[in-house]
Amino acid sequence: MSAVLYACLVLGCGGSSSPSATPTPPAPSPSPGSPSLPDVSGEWKGTLESSSFPARAITARLIQLADCVDGSWNTVSDSRWVGAISAFAVPRSLNGYMSIEYQVSGKLCSGFGTLNGPATETTATLEWSLTNYNADNCPGGIPNTMTLKLGR
């Protein structure tokens, strides 16, 4: 089963199970009078950045139901990277998980990690910290920390 499908099934806001290494974050509940949740549904464009590689152009497609955000992302270059996003919207930010999948010398390199940072209805700057990846299929590894800069 591919990592993206696995992430969608396991990390989805409505999922009932989670990998033991990354427990599902509790659903936040805004207190009365708190700022509203950002509506991040729709199409996003931006970059995936790391000190380990040049910035890569990406697109993301997100669906939001109440505070639950699920979706997919992919690079828009010849070297195609893809993944899934599952997060909770809280006032002015997103908190959750993100996965990655790409081919290296005919092998599937995949991993996942935590995702969080400030988000509004028009911009998001999210830090992605990889917590797990298949080292055997990822020569040179995957950067431990990456930044997604997204806008509409």
For residue 62, being part of any structural domain is answered with yes
Domain that holds residue 55: 3-14+40-151
Concatenated DSSP letters for 24-79? PPPPP-PPTTPPPPP---EEEEEEEEETTEEEEEEEEEEEEETTEEEEEEEE-SSS
Cβ count near 120 (within 10 Å)? 13
Q: What is the CATH number of the domain that holds 62?
A: 2.40.128
For strands 123-133 and 53-65, give the pairing: unpaired
Residue with tokens 């669906």: 63
Does residue 28 lie within any of the structural domains?
Answer: no
pTM to 2 decimal places: 0.79
* Domain tally, the chain: 1
pLDDT in tens, 99-143: 999 998 889 999 999 999 999 999 999 999 999 999 899 988 889
Residue 100 counted as domain residue: yes
Give the model's pLDDT for residue 5. Answer: 43
Question: What integer pLDDT is reported at residue 36 of this predicted model?
Answer: 86
